Structure 1
């Protein structure tokens, strides 16, 4: 008697093993497992960043200070030790430092994983000093008044504002005149800047310099500053014995006195 055919054997095995599992059920199980893994991983990451004793601020480093002290910068930054690094808003810290310490021109706040915060500051440099009630106001290269000191820094020229009360003076205002004076202080040649003692502003179009040895320079307005610097350098070489120089019109500089 012949044995069962191949088809009959397949049917018998199917009956013994039961109906096949639908593929959809296996996919659902894999999705559930994957979801649980993601939840556990995400929860662990959140706990690690916010709730764990690790990745918290243990030290605040400061770099770039000259007049300010590192302690002043740390105190103004207001970063509390033990705070999770991830929760610190570096933009807020930067704004706080500029507000509390106007001497700071630029500041870069960085996270130094796993336990540090870095504060790299750039201080404003005075280019002019404005006397006021026995004190001295430091003015930076942009004409911003940023600090009041009891002793003027060495080598920084004094600023004299002798502006009248005319309509033109009111039109420009002290802020614009400060910016004009600071721009002139930046534009003068390096050799002249080294000898400069005073910048006098009578109006926006009348700015003059007093140098060592009683020499003076009529600069005029802030316009064409580079051309005036070149003209002044050439004029001082050509007339080294002169005491008064006029570069208010750089195409026609003049000198006088000896």
Structure 2
């Protein structure tokens, strides 16, 4: 076969599909045509569509609904109908003066009732109502068949003497129990402010709360020696201690500073029998 002439090879270089490039020396071998741009154009023209989901058949839908209904019915039966999740035990904790049995009886949780049907808030309210000594009550379900009652009892801060009886009062001024005899270590609150202008201005309830506030803020070492908290007016509260000692406390304000000052005086002045800490930065004492 005859070789192409020089003119023919030149014409092939100028043609669009020629494997040769203009301006490059002719090596005598054809070069491949670059097809990158054409491939990208074809790739862009391809449309991708997400796979189409098949609708479940009617039989499948009915089967799923029946399964859900059966599971729900089984759950309801286990919680309400079976003997597995019914109240068999009720126990109480946190008692100090009360007994666990008193708390359980006040709760009134019906035995053999479905555990899920016990209204815990109603039971807690019933315990607080029947036992005023209880400050807080928490009721929990203990699966599969128990109810737990956890109570916190009120702590008496003072005693009010009335008709030969003693009424316990907590730090919030709540009267919660009546005793035949006074507790040791709990001071008696005496309100002696009938002729004081404070009685007309604040009233007996407010003055009583101020005395309770003073007693509740006393350090344990002073509280155990305090026999009487005497309220004569809003800013005239005194403490009667063992050994015939007295403390002029003043009002209930700045209780922490007054307590620290009194402790320091009692440690350094052991022979003193009257302390005045109504102005804690300038205390006074007598009998030393």
* Length-normalised TM-score, structure 2: 0.78
CA distance in 2, matches of 1:124, 1:168: 29
1:44 aligned counterpart, secondary structure? helix
CA displacement at 1:166 relative to structure 2: 5.0
More helix by share: 1
2:263 to 218, 233, 249: 233
SS state at 1:102 partner: coil
For the pair 1:188 / 2:218, whether they are aligned, the reply is yes
Shift of 1:192: 1.1
Where structure 1 has 5 or more consecutive residues not aligned to the other structure, the ranges are 1-22
Is the CA contact 1:143–1:181 (under 8 Å) kept in the aligned structure 2? no
TM-score (norm 1): 0.86
Structure index of larger Rg? 2
- Indicate the RMSD between aligned Cα atoms, in angstroms: 1.5
When structure 1 is superposed on structure 2, of 206-215 and 146-155 the one drifting more is 146-155
**Could you tell me whether the CA contact under 8 Å between 1:143 and 1:180 is conserved in 2?**
no
Aligned match of 1:94: 124
Give yes or no for contact 2:133–2:154 (8 Å, CA) kept in 1: yes
Q: 1:57 aligned to 2:73?
A: no
2:5 matched residue in structure 1:
none
Matched residue pairs, number?
235
Q: Give distance in 2, aligned partners of 1:171 and 1:44.
A: 67
Q: Which moved more, 1:52-61 or 1:176-185?
A: 176-185
Distance in 2 (CA, whole Å) between partners of 1:71 and 1:226 is: 40
1:42 aligns with one of 66, 72, 77: 72
Matched ranges for 1:165-180 at <5 A: 168-180=198-210
Deviation of 1:176 after TM superposition, in Å, equals 2.3
What does residue 118 of structure 1 align with? 148
Q: Are the equivalent residues in 1 in contact too, given 2:196–2:232 (CA < 8 A)?
A: no
**Does structure 1 retain, via aligned residues, the 8 Å contact 2:160–2:168?**
yes
Alignment counterpart, residue 228 of structure 2, candidates 189, 198, 201: 198
In the TM superposition, residue 193 of structure 1 has moved relative to its aligned partner by 1.1
Change (3 A) 1:171 1:36: farther
Answer 1 or 2: higher relative contact order, Cα 8 Å, separation at least 6. 1
Evaluate the alpha carbon distance shift between residue 175 and residue 31 of structure 1 in structure 2; reply closer, same or farther with a 3 A threshold.
farther
